[in-house]
């Protein structure tokens, strides 16, 4: 049979500062891939995110390299430099538009966010276009049905006619903020993130200040 039509590509995008990347991110990514039968997950370390102006993030190159290191053991995980290489403030909507241009219309994109980020989603730049271009998956802790979140999801559903998928992951208590705090206070970060990332952090003396 002549191939005149490419089969659909389906992948997830996980945006984040990844400062540093940890098992919460990795467990979530693999859970979403598994749940929606996706071809791959693209990790997208942020450039200059509009929402994280309060804290200076580590050098983009460190964040990018740690993300690459943490994902090497999974052949279905990719890391993109698109946001890091883009000048100015980076908006998710530009990133997804760029991906749609690269992969074509016959593509299904799932954008992964933690439950915390989903609460802010309607404040994002051009959220309506974003909702048209991709599905959203919010990661929540098992047994955690935050009232705020349910309310927000219902709001989004009635206002934008857009359902946000939910997925339960078992490792939501891990956060980069907590990991940075532990390092600063001389506490162990073992088993919260891959060993290679721990070595990398030590080698470059990250998060001591
Ligand atoms: P920080 O504490 O600096 O905000 P973080 O741990 O939240 O860091 P980010 O890089 O901000 O990590 O997160 C990228 C994405 O991953 C966000 O959508 C965030 O909600 C989600 N996320 C972060 N930690 C977890 C986790 N443990 N489980 C599931 N999703 C997570
Ligand atoms: Mg965060």
Q: What's the structural domain count of the chain?
A: 1
Instruction: For residue range 146-199, list pLDDT tens digits in order.
Output: 777 888 888 888 888 888 999 999 877 899 999 999 999 999 999 999 999 999
The whole-number average pLDDT for the span 109-135 is: 88
Contact 192, 64 (CB under 8 A): no
What atom of ligand 1 comes closest to residue 177's alpha carbon?
2
CATH number of the domain residue 48 falls in:
3.40.50.620
Ligand of minimum distance to the alpha carbon of 175: 1
pLDDT given for residue 4 in this prediction: 45
Give the mean pLDDT of 33-56. Answer: 85
90-117: b (≥16 Cβ within 10 Å) or e:
bbbbbbbeebeeeeeeebebbbbbbbeb
190 inside domain: no
Please say if the pLDDT value at position 1 is more than 50: no
Nearest bound ligand to the CA of residue 172: 1
Q: How far is the CA of 143 from the centre of ligand 2 (A)?
A: 20
Report yes or no on 3 lying in a domain.
no
Does any domain span residue 205? no
Q: What percent of the chain has pLDDT over 70?
A: 92
Mutation pick for ligand 1 pocket among 18, 114, 138, 144 (CB with most ligand atoms within 8 Å):
114
Nearest residue (by CA) to ligand 1, atom 19, is 114
Q: Which structural domain, as residue segments, surrounds residue 62?
A: 9-173
């Amino acid at each position: 049979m002549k191939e005149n039509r490419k089969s659909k590509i389906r992948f997830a995008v996980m945006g984040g500062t990844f400062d540093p990347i940890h098992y919460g991110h990795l467990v979530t990514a693999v859970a979403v891939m598994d749940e929606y039968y996706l071809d791959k997950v693209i990790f997208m370390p942020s450039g200059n995110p509009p929402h994280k102006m309060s804290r200076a993030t580590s050098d983009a190159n460190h964040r990018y390299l740690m993300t690459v290191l943490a994902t090497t053991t999974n052949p279905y995980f990719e890391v993109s430099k698109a946001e890091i290489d883009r000048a100015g403030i980076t908006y998710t909507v530009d990133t997804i538009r760029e991906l749609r241009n690269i992969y074509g219309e016959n593509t299904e994109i799932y954008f992964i966010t933690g439950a915390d980020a989903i609460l802010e989603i309607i404040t994002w730049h051009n959220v309506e276009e974003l909702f048209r271009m991709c599905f959203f998956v919010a990661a929540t802790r098992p047994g955690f049905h935050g009232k705020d979140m349910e309310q927000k999801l219902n709001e989004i559903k009635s206002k934008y006619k857009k359902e946000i998928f939910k997925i339960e992951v078992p490792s939501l208590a891990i956060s980069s903020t907590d990991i940075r705090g532990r390092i600063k206070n001389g506490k162990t970060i073992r088993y919260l993130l891959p060993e290679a990332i721990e070595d990398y952090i030590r080698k470059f003396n990250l998060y001591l200040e």
